[in-house]
Structure 1
Amino acid sequence: MISFVKGILEYMTEEWIIVDVNGIGYKIGIPSSAVSKLPSIGKEVKIFTHLQVKEDEMALYGFLSQDELNMFERLISVSGIGPKGALGILSTLSPADLCMAVITEDIKTLSSAPGIGKKTAQRMILELKDKINTLEAIGMGGEPVLELQQNGTAEEAIVALAALGYSRVEAAKAVNDVFKEDMSVEDIIKAALKKLALF
């Protein structure tokens, strides 16, 4: 119903902002990660929004990009995740990292978001995997990822790196950066570890 709000940023906290649109102040819930990217008070801002309507209240949730809004709407479609939970997840993980975590079934990364335990992370993977693809993650600024499940050598290297304590997202990105068809698992792991050491 309200696709975006464009106006003057009047007030902000870690959890919400007020945008003045022609003399009407819209209170909009935001992920805390957006605060540092917002313009200063008194400047114009454009926020992509989702209107949540319940019997007893209406609430606007806003994002600086369409990708974040799209991911928010997918997250609230997962049973057990409401708007505040989805904001918490997007405060911790970017849309690209979230996509990668779902694609690679990285429960550890998903569980790093506040209020997300192992069971909820597993449910997120189950319910979102068919709605997210690798090309979309690339489009969101994520690193391109090999069709890892189809490449046994790459997958073995990722599993080994995960066993060393790296998340599957970190491991998949590093393997993708260094992978060449003729490399052995050991070569991939060594090259990926060098890459990870640079971060």
Structure 2
Amino acid sequence: MIGKLTGTLLEKNPPEVLVDCAGVGYEVQVPMSTFYNLPALGERVSLLTQFIVREDAQLLYGFATVAERAAFRQLIKIAGVGPRMALGILSGLGVEDLAQAITLQEVGRLVKVPGIGKKTAERLLLELKGKLGADIGSVPHQTSSAAQADILQALLALGYSDKDAATALKALPADVGVSDGIKLALKGLGK
């Protein structure tokens, strides 16, 4: 319904901001990553928004980037994750960090966010796998093929560090198959 707001920033009270759009003030909840990048009071601001209607409230959430809003939308689709928790996750981790945690299935990163326990973190990783990690954010281990992605996951599952796995992956031919790639990577790491 309301997809974007552009107006004058009147108030900043984390995590809420007040944006004046042609004489109408909109209260907008924003993640801290957006909040820190807001202009000074009285200046123009533009926020992508997500409008949520509940039985007891109508809430507007704002985001500085398309990636933040897309991540928020994916998070609120998960049972048990409401807008407040999704905002907390995006405030505790950036979109890129969240995408990397999902791609690498790192429960530890999500548990560091206030309000997220181990079981919730595991459920988030399971439900967001393939939906958020690959498409949103710039994950350091961007691979040129599905085979390389599988090789990377195998090396990480075997206990190699991100750095070692990425280094081994760079040394492989671009068109290598999964099984041959794992063997070659393990040989390279064994030296």
Class of the TM-score when normalised by the shorter of the 2 chains:
0.7 to 0.9
CA contact (8 A) 1:16 1:29 kept: yes
CA contact (8 A) 2:71 2:95 kept: yes
List alignment gaps of at least 5 residues for structure 2: 173-183
| CA distance in 2 between partners of 1:56 and 1:95 (Å) | 29
CA contact (8 A) 1:145 1:176 kept: no
CA contact (8 A) 1:103 1:129 kept: yes
| CA distance in 2 between partners of 1:114 and 1:124 (Å) | 14
CA contact (8 A) 2:9 2:45 kept: yes
The runs of at least 4 consecutive aligned structure 1 residues that moved more than 6 Å come to none
Match of 2:117 in 1: 117
Match of 2:139 in 1: 142
| CA distance in 1 between partners of 2:152 and 2:55 (Å) | 50
Alignment of 1:41-120 (within 5 A): 41-120=41-120
Go from structure 1 to structure 2 and tell me whether the alpha carbon gap of 1:156 and 1:70 turns closer, same or farther (over 3 Å shift): closer
| CA distance in 2 between partners of 1:131 and 1:142 (Å) | 14
Go from structure 1 to structure 2 and tell me whether the alpha carbon gap of 1:25 and 1:84 turns closer, same or farther (over 3 Å shift): same
Count of paired positions: 173
Match of 2:156 in 1: 155
Q: Would you say 1:127 and 2:127 are equivalent positions?
A: yes
Paired letter, 1:176:
A
Go from structure 1 to structure 2 and tell me whether the alpha carbon gap of 1:156 and 1:126 turns closer, same or farther (over 3 Å shift): closer
Tell me the CA shift for residue 149 of structure 1. 3.1
CA contact (8 A) 1:9 1:42 kept: yes
Match of 1:191 in 2: none
Instruction: Give the alignment's TM-score, normalised by structure 1.
Output: 0.78
Which has a greater percent of helix?
A: 1
Tell me the CA shift for residue 45 of structure 1. 0.4
Paired letter, 1:143:
P
Go from structure 1 to structure 2 and tell me whether the alpha carbon gap of 1:175 and 1:110 turns closer, same or farther (over 3 Å shift): same
Q: Equivalent residue of 1:50, what SS?
A: strand
| CA distance in 2 between partners of 1:177 and 1:40 (Å) | 43
Tell me the CA shift for residue 34 of structure 1. 2.0
Q: Equivalent residue of 1:48, what SS?
A: strand
| Structure of larger gyration radius | 2
Go from structure 1 to structure 2 and tell me whether the alpha carbon gap of 1:177 and 1:58 turns closer, same or farther (over 3 Å shift): farther
Paired letter, 1:150:
I
Paired letter, 1:85:
M
Go from structure 1 to structure 2 and tell me whether the alpha carbon gap of 1:104 and 1:86 turns closer, same or farther (over 3 Å shift): same
Report percent identity of matched pairs: 32
Match of 1:10 in 2: 10
List alignment gaps of at least 5 residues for structure 1: 162-170, 188-199
Match of 2:180 in 1: none
**Alignment RMSD:** 2.2
CA deviation string 1:94-137 (max 9, x = no partner): 11221111111111111111111111111111111132353x24
Q: Equivalent residue of 2:139, what SS?
A: coil
Paired letter, 2:66:
Q
CA contact (8 A) 1:7 1:45 kept: yes
